[in-house]
Structure 1
């Protein structure tokens, strides 16, 4: 008897073209998450999908279980040349090749929600500071006057909020906004017309501020497999070197996927209420923008006083107040060859991320003067001696080289992320026991002389190996004791992934399945 799920799977399989010179079955993976579906297939395997496939996909997904929040639904479809198909699915796996064992785990610099609120930001019923309110009021009204003089019409700014409305929004946020931002909201509810009140940014209405903050949603690359090094903002020690903070409050946008936030929990040299930018155009850490909201508004008004603006036919009045920093200091060297690493040292005193491609012989000891280098990626080298003990800030090191002197890694105190690839000889990884901070390790693209040291790394939380390496660990019954997330490279079936997960966790992983034929 044909079930509804089987019929939907058959319709999906009919949308996959088989034959055409392909050897072996066609494999398609679907990842359904937050209402969106991502379609992939194994690396190196070409799969042709007919337009009907996408309609069939939507119909199939409606019949499958809805995954719980924070967990995807993984679907695997295998279509053989004879027309036979098999469909498997699970809402208990991270992907077809990854397993998350501890959903609360975060890599260094990636805190979970629940951070303590600084004393100075605690919510109170006090009205806005009268002196700050007077300062912001004067700047706001000067902006309005100068705008009207230039444009011949007043700016389309709605009247502001009452103290009671601001206090109600703060109660939902769980914190008191900086006094100057409170004062700005007393003047206007938002700048939806993009008049230029805060330069290229426009304040959000308070209900949006509350909505976008719940539940501490501002964060970057917080997954265990993400590029997760958190770089230092400029100037140093102003913004905490974190991927997210409960007390970063987004309050303005440029309507082009960039935003401003006020920082209620600054670093040692920072100031409560300082402003930073983040979003589509900001690569790396948050970009320190201004000391305060008042400084941003004052900069706009000063630019208008000086005639430093452009006027067009829109509502926007473009000023040229100089805010924002220089962004992430990153260097990329192509075709490095036999060049001297001293060349990098001469240029890279403040650099935090360096890529070196196609080098011949590198001894990383030469980079020791780079006190701010946090991430180093070496691609397609001949020989690398990773003498990195002098790199006191280095957190992430990726080496792809024909020869890697692994012993030179010994004792690196800050290195928590390591990836080795490309070595022509088997590597002896016993030295990894000397890396006290090692948290994430990727050895999937090298051969190992002995797999057992991996099980002797108590700080290791994220491990990426190939299928043969995982099989060797399993044969030896060696499971690293504190793993939070794992990945197995190379193509594996969903059943194999579930079986691997069962071995790691001791918990059975049930797959939903159906099969049939397209004929």
Structure 2
């Protein structure tokens, strides 16, 4: 029955194909809740043809439309690209029903079944269905997740406990401030604006609070003894304030849906978790059970009281977290008391506006919102001009004279990218809290990084052979991308006991398996795309390049070699009835 669905999809694609097409690709997924999505169908046509498909249907996960572009690796002698990239519109090829059927037919248990389908104009198709194999973000390589429940420990797990465990909030002041705030609202709006929901009975409050993962800060508890949230009015900077029952519901592990999406794909797209605010006030985590949401937006974000602060924070501080903050939370105030104090001060200072009867309060910009990224090139890189203690991301490009000495001891430097900086001495980076490093250089000496205590992920791009031995002393190193590097001895990878993620090209994987076997402990692996290869015959100008690798067939074989008997890859081939033109 799976083949029946795939055949029907192939026939639908062929029926909607442009004249002169040779090959079509569909990259899609289907979820366990009936959700499905895809980027459209990409048609490859002869010569200069630049036709595009369109996709439609409810539930498609849309991306920014991609225009037809010339591929510099596949176009030569003035030839346009062979690839006509798909575009999204409201009519055309609709595959959502078929995608949902495939999810059900294969018995998928996750919310992401990858469906890759290649259709040839001569009447053949091949497809891969897998819950573990999916496309890289670049669309050409592949990611295989061997252990979806195993992710690298987040940086916040390594941070110390705060030096001061006393909350800064004041219960009595908080109660006075909520009254003052409501009176100020009435004054500026010229009417009685709010009838607060009455507080729950004491016994019910105690029962609900006893179900929380930790005790609420005293100032918030005092407010709940007075009122039960704001009834959805959005009193706190346009954030509706939860009643205590809703707060308890959102604190349960099974209901923290906003943190459920951080999987290997998301992690590799955004591996750096930070926090915005005073230095080390908030732990660098994507979520924590003792971050208790007490107010929300309509967009899936929350205000929360942080009862697990970082070394420089205090319990009960207010943070912003949720769906759009999976790369780290944002510090808001040192307590609920302080947040209310800012609301009252803003109203008294006239820092507000009223639009269609709605009060919009300007709470002011926070002083820590300065730029935390720095890009330098050429002469500016000699002294890393612009580097200051708050810089977290540093990119250095085209700088043969770069001197990293001024970065030594940089307290917040977490990510460094070095591109075309021959002869750069990396030794000063050993004395930084560096976690992510991307090196693209003619020659790379990893010796100065030996024993680095915080390095977590490394990407190398070089044509000269690199000795990986110094990495064996980097105990937190969990990720390597060596797909664009020449390696002196690839068997060294077998000595990296904490390695969870590895990305290589096919020939590198085969060499590794032959010399060191399959690395134990890998949770995810990447199969990188190969450089385009030109055909030998100059006269076949319209077909001057081999099909891009890895193909579906190559990826399926690699995944089976990688995972062995536990591999989750279904490979299908077949024929379909070609439409008459």
- Taking structure 1 as the reference length, the TM-score comes to 0.82
CA distance in 1, matches of 2:207, 2:227: 17
RMSD after superposition: 3.6
From 50, 56, 72, the equivalent of 2:112 is 72
Secondary structure in 2 matching 1:356: strand
Counterpart for residue 101 of structure 2:
62
Secondary structure in 1 matching 2:338: helix
Cα offset, 1:274, TM superposition: 0.9
Secondary structure in 2 matching 1:17: coil
Flag the 1:108–1:408 CA change in 2: closer, same or farther, 3 A: same
Cα offset, 1:91, TM superposition: 3.0
Secondary structure in 2 matching 1:431: helix
From 129, 148, 154, the equivalent of 1:103 is 148
Q: Is the 8 A contact 1:375 1:396 kept in 2?
A: yes
Q: Is the 8 A contact 2:275 2:330 kept in 1?
A: no
CA distance in 1, matches of 2:417, 2:250: 35
Moved more, 74-83 or 96-105: 96-105
Query: Residues 190-269 of structure 1: matches in 2 within 5 Å?
Result: 190=230, 192-194=232-234, 197-215=235-253, 216-217=256-257, 219=259, 223=264, 224-255=267-298, 258-269=301-312
Counterpart for residue 117 of structure 1:
none
Counterpart for residue 125 of structure 1:
none
Counterpart for residue 468 of structure 1:
507
Cα offset, 1:77, TM superposition: 0.7
CA distance in 2, matches of 1:20, 1:372: 55
1:176-210 deviation per Cα after TM superposition (whole angstroms, max 9, x unaligned): 3223223333324335233xx32343313445434
Residue 159 of structure 1 pairs with residue 197 of structure 2: yes
Secondary structure in 2 matching 1:140: helix
Q: Is the 8 A contact 1:78 1:85 kept in 2?
A: yes
CA distance in 1, matches of 2:2, 2:414: 57
CA distance in 2, matches of 1:429, 1:255: 48
Residue 342 of structure 1 pairs with residue 383 of structure 2: yes
Cα offset, 1:465, TM superposition: 1.0
Cα offset, 1:511, TM superposition: 1.0
Flag the 1:362–1:36 CA change in 2: closer, same or farther, 3 A: farther
From 464, 471, 475, the equivalent of 1:432 is 471
Cα offset, 1:300, TM superposition: 1.5
Flag the 1:52–1:137 CA change in 2: closer, same or farther, 3 A: closer
1:250-308 deviation per Cα after TM superposition (whole angstroms, max 9, x unaligned): 2223445543111112233422211012368879642221121122112212333x333
CA distance in 2, matches of 1:93, 1:240: 32
Q: Is the 8 A contact 1:27 1:78 kept in 2?
A: yes
Q: Is the 8 A contact 2:490 2:511 kept in 1?
A: yes
1:319-341 deviation per Cα after TM superposition (whole angstroms, max 9, x unaligned): 3444745247522325x113344
Moved more, 479-488 or 49-58: 49-58
Residue 286 of structure 1 pairs with residue 325 of structure 2: no
Flag the 1:290–1:169 CA change in 2: closer, same or farther, 3 A: same
Flag the 1:381–1:246 CA change in 2: closer, same or farther, 3 A: same
Q: Is the 8 A contact 1:77 1:86 kept in 2?
A: yes
Query: Residues 140-159 of structure 1: matches in 2 within 5 Å?
Result: 140-159=178-197
Counterpart for residue 276 of structure 1:
319
From 539, 559, 569, the equivalent of 1:501 is 559
Q: Is the 8 A contact 1:166 1:182 kept in 2?
A: no
The number of aligned residues is 496
Counterpart for residue 27 of structure 2:
29
Q: Is the 8 A contact 2:36 2:99 kept in 1?
A: no
CA distance in 2, matches of 1:67, 1:102: 19
Cα offset, 1:6, TM superposition: 4.5
Q: Is the 8 A contact 1:287 1:325 kept in 2?
A: no
CA distance in 2, matches of 1:327, 1:67: 48
CA distance in 2, matches of 1:494, 1:170: 53
List alignment gaps of at least 5 residues for structure 2: 43-70, 75-82, 137-141, 158-164, 530-548
Cα offset, 1:167, TM superposition: 3.8
List alignment gaps of at least 5 residues for structure 1: 113-119, 122-128
Counterpart for residue 13 of structure 1:
13
CA distance in 1, matches of 2:517, 2:419: 31
Counterpart for residue 124 of structure 1:
none
Counterpart for residue 298 of structure 1:
341
Flag the 1:404–1:251 CA change in 2: closer, same or farther, 3 A: same
Counterpart for residue 397 of structure 1:
437
- Taking structure 2 as the reference length, the TM-score comes to 0.74
1:28-79 deviation per Cα after TM superposition (whole angstroms, max 9, x unaligned): 2212236443425899854547977642343343243376555521111111
Q: Is the 8 A contact 2:303 2:318 kept in 1?
A: yes
Query: Residues 111-190 of structure 1: matches in 2 within 5 Å?
Result: 132=171, 135-162=173-200, 163-185=202-224, 186-190=226-230
Cα offset, 1:417, TM superposition: 0.9
